[in-house]
Amino acid sequence: MLSRPLLTALIAGLVSATGFAPLGLWPVTLLAFAILLWLTWSAPTRKAVLLRGWVFGVGHFTVGNNWIQHAFDFQDKMPPVLGYFAVVLLALYLAIYPAFAMGLAWRLSHALKRRDGGTGPDLAFVFAAAASWIVTEYLRGVLFTGYPWNPLGVIWLPTPIAQFAAWIGTYALSGITVLVAGLLLLAARRHYRPLLIGAPLLLALALLRGGLAPTPTTPDPTAPRVRVVQPNIGQEGVGEPDYPERVLVKLLEWSGRPGAAPRLLVWPEGTVNYYVEDGYADPRFYGRADPVWVRTRIAAKLGPKDMALIGGTALFFGPDARVNGAGNSVWSLDSAGTLGQRYDKAHLVPYGEYLPMRTLLAPLGLARLVMGEVDFVPGPGPRAIELPGFGKAGIQICYEIIFSGQVVDRGNRPDFLFNPSNDAWFGKWGPPQHLAQARLRAIEEGLPILRSTPTGISAVIDAEGRLLESIPHGQEGAIELALPRPLPPTPFARLGNWLAFLVAGALYLFAIAFRRRAR
């Protein structure tokens, strides 16, 4: 049986995840984190506070990542029931980070209680907790390939507070979230002044972001346009012989016709199930279709000034002409059917797109987790692809878009980001959460984002993170509108996650200052 504090921590952790999409109950998340902070302050020992933070994290990440189970529904080699165990096992690991954050905050709170007789948490403790959350959430995003899904700051998207991401980034925004929860805790203990001063100040600073917005102008009918296609074909039947043709026909059906303005056609991740590159040594790879024939069919949907960004698989060969890897890739394609630059996904999904330590884990049967016989090979990282008439496109395939500070080539800033994805794996909770994190990247970088997925949610996002238009999950269709313009580089676009460390350092300094004042 769990003790009362641990049971409270578990329940608070479970309900805290309701602040994320699709529920969006962000006030509940703030209250749940206020409870976590109280449990941290009142913990009698270091072991107790670490256990309380860990139990909270188990509940938080189990609910927030429940969509992962759905990915196992498409694994013929693995029973779907294992998906539930995968969600819990992942939560058991991820919970280490909130435990560590609360442990760091508790060290200061423990010293303060000896000085002030244990009258309760104060601003020093709240500042320390907020700073510690920034540090540990950043570590969650980078250690062991990183898994920054559902950063705490994403709950602010329905509010102007989300615009802080342009100034300080997502990780620091998550620290601000803990700070607000701490102010609520202090208010509950009749310390109202910090909340009455802090909340309006945060809101006023967030609204300053509106000054960076471009002045609305009359749409130019000759300006470049974008067409985002969502075929609504999932993973069902992926192994059937007619699957590649069925998907291609549906993509072409929704690709529309050329117009007066140049048009950029964008398709989802990996939906061209034929090889499109020439020059593979073994002609058997082209058994299903000639790549020239495939490219010509796509190019027929393009006008003279149109271009397309299409997703498929590239093959890599060793010296013996044998396949030694594959690329999850995006190519540009012009109206003549000529392939342009290629982007290869750099941040691959372990156990999904490749098997780590294959020589050790494959004999244990874990190769069944990987869809193909050959591992995907990571590309070199963020880059901008030149698209004549449309500017430079930054490419981030699928969950690459969730990595704050890692989506743009700083030396060659793009004009927009293209985020093709396959969210058919993600159940009902995953797609809206994925979209929300893409919107944070738009705010951070000041860049519009085009999202195209097979089953949704496809969208066009402006440079302030607003949804200009979207296609709901489970529907087929297309979006066509003017290509949004970028904003000037934001502070985060210039400095990246150094800003998160600056904010964390400032909060720690405030905590130390209040600690000395308490003495």
Cα distances (angstroms) measured from residue 255 to each of 104, 223, 252, 274, 504? 53, 19, 5, 18, 47
Tokens of 252: 């072409």
Active-site position among 113, 137, 269, 445: 269
445 is catalytic: no
Question: H helices within 3-44, ranges in order?
Answer: 4-16, 26-41
Distances (CA, A) of 267 to 308, 310, 318, 418, 453: 8, 5, 30, 10, 7
Whole-number pLDDT of residue 425: 79
Half-sphere exposure of 28 (CA within 13 A, CB side): 15
Contact 230, 478 (CB under 8 A): yes
User: What tokens does 104 get?
Assistant: 């760091």
Mean pLDDT per 10-residue interval, the chain, length 519 residues: 86 96 95 96 91 97 90 61 82 96 86 55 89 96 93 94 93 95 84 62 62 48 88 79 88 90 93 84 67 91 94 82 82 93 87 54 44 74 92 94 94 95 86 96 96 94 94 94 94 95 92 68
- Given the residues 137, 398, 444, 445, the one annotated as active site: 398
What is the predicted pLDDT for the residue at 192? 58
Q: How many residues does the chain have?
A: 519
Nearby residues of 511 by Cβ (< 8 Å), 6 or more positions away: 108, 123, 124, 125, 127, 128, 131
Question: In this structure, which long-range contacts are made by residues 254-260, counting pairs with CB atoms below 8 Å and at least 24 apart in sequence?
Answer: 254/229, 254/230, 254/476, 254/477, 254/478, 255/227, 255/229, 255/298, 255/301, 255/478, 256/227, 256/301, 256/478, 256/480, 257/301, 258/301, 258/302, 258/303, 258/304, 258/306, 259/225, 259/303, 260/221, 260/222
Q: Which residue has the tokens 């749409």?
A: 219
For residues 397 and 269, the answer to whether their CB atoms sit within 8 Å is yes
Instruction: Indicate which residue of 113, 250, 301, 345 is catalytic.
Output: 345
Task: Tell me whether residue 250 is one of the annotated catalytic residues.
Answer: no
Q: 386 an active-site residue?
A: no
pLDDT for 53 equals: 96
Determine how many CB atoms are found less than 10 A away from the CB of residue 259: 14
